[in-house]
Amino acid sequence: MAHPLLAHAHDPEFLKTHLQYADWDSKYVFSPPAPASLFIQLARKTQVIVDRCGRIIGVLIAPPLPGEEWESIVQAATTAMREARDKMTFPVGAYHHRRSYSDGFPTGSQGFAFGGGRENLGNIKASSAWNAAAMEELLEDPNVVRMTTYPIRPLFLPYQAFCYLIFADYHTTKQVLVRKNPGLRRTFTRSPFAAVTVNLGPVSVSLPHTDAANKADGMCLIGALGSFDADKGGQLVCWDYDLIIRFPPGCSILIPSAVVTHSNTPIRDGEERFSIIQYTAGGLFRWVANGFQSDRSWLASASAEDLARREEERKARCADALKKFPLWKDVKVRNFSGRGRVEVWDSGDVTDFSNLTDCESEGERPAKRKRQT
């Protein structure tokens, strides 16, 4: 069912008034009145989007460095994006696709995937050798690498912390595939994602869409670059959340893009906006689950027992998928994997029980452990 406000997708001031607005830069903790479907909790420099049951269904990842220092990295990465686009050649049709708005924007991709018409697992191919070389140079630029990997670096772990089970699923699947297929092209060091797409601007503003080829119970990482006033445009609209988010250059956001309709609001004339999206195609997970073959090949050789087992797995798929989205109350006590809270308390791994969510109560607070002497 289409959102009733889709006709106003390109009017940020209207959407700020009629949707929940997350003024991210001001560290504002938004808590809408019931029966709103979600709210945002402040977690150090990063904010999370949670549903009514406290599941984390989005993460707004703040920059890891002070303003001016990070701004220089963002500006350099923006310059690298602009130069890469100028080195590439695109047919007219490359600017206009289902995600593009107005004059459109070209894209470039790298990594590996399965599905979308592919008969086999393989690397994503550029439209020309010239474009492939420019894309390779762009993804090796140190400022682009810094911008795209700060949410997954060892010393700054919002993805692992806030989406541990999803991260583990992505990381394990990627490692299994790369070990079995050494020729697969990786994107960034330590990245759990199999592929990256860059929206090369100069006005990378997307229409409302979902990325149906991505994993439904997963997250994609969106990074914004460019030079634009984030108060006036470039906001990320998550239509299924009734939420519009201030999304300034140099910040990143994790959302389940396969199931959440999202878009950007337009930027002003003369401004630039680029974006970098990291993701893993859902077909890769099915390829591994099928014993490194397609659904068609698996079905051709599946026994009656295999089909019965697959049907039972299908019935539990939705419930199993929801379990991968962690609860905020577990993350607050560093219970990133979602193991039983009593087990966490017994191990003494308790740090913060303030700001309990609506799904918690003071009765859940464990007794303080006495210091042993």
One-letter amino acid for residue 84 of the chain: A
> What CATH number is associated with residue 161?
3.60.130.30
Q: Do 203 and 340 fall into the same domain?
A: no
Task: Assess whether pLDDT exceeds 60 at residue 155.
Answer: no
Contact by Cβ (8 Å): 329, 360: yes
Q: Do 90 and 238 fall into the same domain?
A: yes
Cα separation, 252 vs 46, in Å, equals 10
Which of 226, 255, 285 is where one domain is finished? 285
Is 113 inside a domain boundary?
yes
Question: How many folded domains does the chain comprise?
Answer: 2
Looking at residue 206, the DSSP 8-state letter turns out to be B
**What 3-state class would DSSP assign to 93?**
helix
Contact by Cβ (8 Å): 222, 273: no
Which of 285, 310, 340 is where one domain is finished? 285
**If you write DSSP's letter for every residue of 2-58 in order, what string do you get?**
--TTGGGTT-HHHHHHHSEEE-GGGT----PPTT-SEEEEEETTEEEEEETT-BEEE
Q: Do 113 and 232 fall into the same domain?
A: yes
Q: Do 231 and 332 fall into the same domain?
A: no
> How large is the average pLDDT for residues 26-47?
43
Q: Do 218 and 339 fall into the same domain?
A: no
72-86, 97-111, 184-198, 239-253, range with the lowest pLDDT: 97-111
Cα separation, 368 vs 95, in Å, equals 59
Cα separation, 292 vs 180, in Å, equals 9
Is 44 inside a domain boundary?
no
Task: Assess whether pLDDT exceeds 60 at residue 360.
Answer: no
- Residue 140, both tokens: 């090796």
Which of 256, 285, 314 is where one domain is finished? 285
Contact by Cβ (8 Å): 353, 360: no
Q: Do 83 and 134 fall into the same domain?
A: yes
Which residue intervals of the chain are DSSP H helices?
12-18, 67-87, 129-140, 142-149, 158-162, 164-180, 282-289, 295-301, 304-315, 317-323, 328-331, 341-346
Quick one: how far is CA 117 from the chain centroid?
Answer: 24
H or E stretch including 263? strand 262-264
Task: Name the residue with higher pLDDT: 119 or 245.
Answer: 245
Task: Assess whether pLDDT exceeds 70 at residue 349.
Answer: no
Which structural domain, as residue segments, surrounds residue 75? 59-285
Is 267 inside a domain boundary?
yes
**Residue whose tokens read 């070389």:** 133
Is 29 inside a domain boundary?
no
Res 365: pLDDT: 41
Cα separation, 250 vs 221, in Å, equals 13
Is 258 inside a domain boundary?
yes
Cα separation, 324 vs 285, in Å, equals 15
Task: Assess whether pLDDT exceeds 90 at residue 348.
Answer: no
Q: Do 244 and 349 fall into the same domain?
A: no
The pTM assigned to this predicted structure is 0.84
Cα separation, 73 vs 84, in Å, equals 16
Is 18 inside a domain boundary?
no
Is 279 inside a domain boundary?
yes
Res 150: pLDDT: 85
pLDDT, tens digit (0-9, with 9 covering 90-100), for 264-312: 999 999 999 999 999 999 999 999 999 999 999 999 999 999 999 999 9
- Residue 158, both tokens: 């919002």
Q: Do 346 and 225 fall into the same domain?
A: no
One-letter amino acid for residue 154 of the chain: P
Looking at residue 64, the DSSP 8-state letter turns out to be S
Looking at residue 194, the DSSP 8-state letter turns out to be S
Q: Do 171 and 223 fall into the same domain?
A: yes
Is 176 inside a domain boundary?
yes
One-letter amino acid for residue 14 of the chain: F
Q: Do 271 and 334 fall into the same domain?
A: no
Q: What percent of the chain has pLDDT over 70?
A: 78
Q: Do 68 and 213 fall into the same domain?
A: yes
Q: Do 256 and 349 fall into the same domain?
A: no
pLDDT, tens digit (0-9, with 9 covering 90-100), for 53-80: 889 999 998 887 777 888 999 999 999 9
